[in-house]
Chain A
């Protein structure tokens, strides 16, 4: 691995040294121009914040639809478009089309890419055939297809420049996440936690598509790319075989820990940040141990892949609380000192703030008051359980054992938040978080592993918290103190990525299909418009011809779409209001559409 890396580096330096540096500088500079939206989250820090301020809290009520675009695909549309110069790049779920639209000329289709993929990959994708978008760098558009093909397209023509295979769909590995371009590499994760895939993040050379490094989430030290002495966990070296020691036998080989969330990068520290998902199977009894490094925040050197620090949020997962959600980087004052922070809203219902340079844990608090599986994280540095969540016995699906139905666990397996990314405004210093407000019954039982087949091992049913009718909230969160600043109820889970703007307006979409604008300071609703289908995409903004636009993909589906036909079940009938159990199918139907808004001219 090491050797290959050096060889590639020297090769790259010899021929492309200047070009690579320019490409990276170019992308970094472009991400600072608020007119465009050149990476999945807008910037490397994953803030989903734009300096554009033409649309303000005072005038957003006048917003109108400027133009629309049908993607021609029906399934769940996650992610959002990129805007690079005058071109917008719109992606779709399987079959993973990409359209390049000319924003300066009637939004005409400049080129369209549609790969040929074996449809057998469709049912291997857990929870719909979503794709979370493309990345741009070095004049190329990068797409991670469902069948795990990573393809580089000429941004101007759509011509395929290179392709490489990132995994084996016949073993359950699929591509759903958006790549991230860092320096001369494109980084990509992989999905398949419900199929027992040993998941990884891989860096490919931008020019050639050659693999530079690959870091697994679990396995021997060389595979997970940790240095037993130098890689730290909560300030201490991880030690030898930090992952292997926490699995029974060879179970790590089918251990999951998938990597399909939004990655972040700090150019100053040269570290990339991402989370790993649930350990396979969902039956905790079948995999004793902490199952490291599933459910973990990783900080890795962008050049070598070597881990600088790790922090496992949910050791020995018992509820499918994937740790993949985005890491948002901010610089704020904590306790009178300027800190480089990383904030993460985990599926397990805790909002974490860490020092992103060292991995020191600063804050871990519930961002939904209904979270009940834990009484909190041990913050005592001298405690033997420092950094671990205290699990309540009655909600421990491991303690209660196989074939026992554990009732009333909050949050549900889809988490207090899933992949739908939050936004951060440096002006208000608040995070804007789309959340799920759903609880579950969870019964683990024994399963056997077959390559390429689901490897789940738990029965679950989901419903709103007893006594409540709303299945979602849109909240503002103070990451320094771990407190909710304001919270808006939503009837359904908020499964859309938020956008914060310098105009003092925060945008998000709802499963019924509304694009909503709220006041960044108070949460007051200022505008809403019902788009053609439910929104599980992320809101984007850009400027073209002196006008600020706000764009969002509609197209209901994803895991959220499972409850569409029927609504969630209500095993505690009578405790909640009727509205909470209403079927989403009463509000919206399938259909991929981009809706673009602007103020009237």
Chain B
């Protein structure tokens, strides 16, 4: 099941955008921080978990957004369901640009044996305004940096995150 999905995903991406599928996941270690958002060496957003378990704001926010918008298909904690893949596995190989592309545009995998369709969330502010939050949370899950439960402690919401949220949600 998962293999088929990955193959289909690769095909879809190659066919649609010609994007190269990340064979080896980029090192998720945070090398710098911009306004409370952590970035890896390629400049993609990533998680930061302190030794006492405190997670960065985006991991925590992503947990909340995921369990509102995504979990009804992709299962609790990114673990998958009977009809959608486990994102904690998908994010092991999926790059940041690919993630943004799929969430914004959706994807279809309809065959004689299964009908998996993900809608396009690009126009949905409840998702689109929190793309980085979702990516950072799922990346943390894919790297076992955060467990199956709600992160117990988190960094304060950075003012930059509040500003971005307000302008994106049109407040």
A461 within 8 A of B: yes
Segment 438-477 of A: residues with Cβ below 8 Å from B: 441, 443, 445-448, 450, 453-462
**A459→B130 CA distance, assembly (Å):** 14
- Given contacts A129-B115, A456-B68, A557-B83, A448 and B76 within 8 Å (CB-CB): no
B126 touches A563 (CB 8 A): no
Segment 89-142 of B: residues with Cβ below 8 Å from A: 106, 108, 110, 113-119, 121, 123-127
B56 within 8 A of A: no
A181 to chain B, nearest CB (A): 29
Q: Can you name 11 A-B pairs with beta carbons within 8 Å?
A: A123-B119, A129-B83, A282-B68, A445-B64, A453-B126, A459-B64, A561-B83, A562-B81, A565-B82, A565-B86, A569-B148
B115 touches A94 (CB 8 A): yes
Q: Rank and list the top 5 A-B pairs by shortest CB-CB distance, nearest first.
A: A566-B79, A561-B82, A123-B119, A565-B80, A453-B124
**A126→B72 CA distance, assembly (Å):** 7
B126 touches A447 (CB 8 A): yes
B126 to chain A, nearest CB (A): 5
A397 to chain B, nearest CB (A): 13
- Given contacts A563-B75, A565-B79, A443 and B64 within 8 Å (CB-CB): yes
Nearest residue, chain A, Cβ from B125:
A448
A377 within 8 A of B: no
Nearest residue, chain B, Cβ from A458:
B68
Contact with A along B54-93 (1 / 0, CB 8 A): 0000000001110111011101110111110010000000
**A94→B114 CA distance, assembly (Å):** 10
Kindly identify which residue among B68, B86, B106 contacts A123, using a CB–CB cutoff of 8 Å: B106
- Given contacts A122-B115, A453-B126, A571-B150, A566 and B80 within 8 Å (CB-CB): yes
Of B69, B81, B148, chain A has the most CB atoms within 10 Å of the CB of: B81
Nearest residue, chain B, Cβ from A534:
B82
**A74→B80 CA distance, assembly (Å):** 16
B71 touches A562 (CB 8 A): yes
- Given contacts A453-B126, A564-B82, A123 and B118 within 8 Å (CB-CB): yes
B113 touches A74 (CB 8 A): yes
A454 touches B75 (CB 8 A): no
B13 to chain A, nearest CB (A): 19
A95 to chain B, nearest CB (A): 7
B50 within 8 A of A: no
A556 touches B82 (CB 8 A): yes
Contact with A along B127-165 (1 / 0, CB 8 A): 100000000000000000000111000000000000000
A382 within 8 A of B: no
B56 to chain A, nearest CB (A): 18
A566 touches B76 (CB 8 A): yes
- Given contacts A95-B115, A445-B68, A571 and B149 within 8 Å (CB-CB): yes
Interface residues on A, range: 35 or more
B139 to chain A, nearest CB (A): 18
A75 within 8 A of B: yes
Contact with B along A322-340 (1 / 0, CB 8 A): 0000000000000000000
A450 touches B123 (CB 8 A): yes
Kindly identify which residue among A76, A123, A128, A569 contacts B76, using a CB–CB cutoff of 8 Å: A569
B129 to chain A, nearest CB (A): 9
B124 touches A454 (CB 8 A): yes
Kindly identify which residue among A124, A128, A448, A457 contacts B82, using a CB–CB cutoff of 8 Å: A128
- Given contacts A448-B169, A563-B75, A74 and B150 within 8 Å (CB-CB): no
A461 touches B149 (CB 8 A): yes
Contact with B along A119-150 (1 / 0, CB 8 A): 11011101111000000000000000000000
A212 within 8 A of B: no
Given contacts A122-B116, A562-B76, 13 further A-B contacts (CB under 8 A): A74-B114, A75-B115, A95-B115, A123-B117, A126-B72, A127-B72, A445-B64, A446-B169, A450-B123, A561-B81, A566-B77, A566-B79, A570-B148
Residues from chain B with Cβ under 8 Å of A75 in the complex? 82-83, 115
Segment 326-377 of A: residues with Cβ below 8 Å from B: none
A41 to chain B, nearest CB (A): 26
B170 within 8 A of A: yes
A590 within 8 A of B: yes
A405 within 8 A of B: yes
Residues from chain A with Cβ under 8 Å of B69 in the complex? 454, 456
Nearest residue, chain B, Cβ from A556:
B82
Segment 16-41 of B: residues with Cβ below 8 Å from A: none
A568 within 8 A of B: yes
**A497→B65 CA distance, assembly (Å):** 33
Nearest residue, chain A, Cβ from B114:
A74
- Given contacts A562-B75, A569-B77, A453 and B83 within 8 Å (CB-CB): no
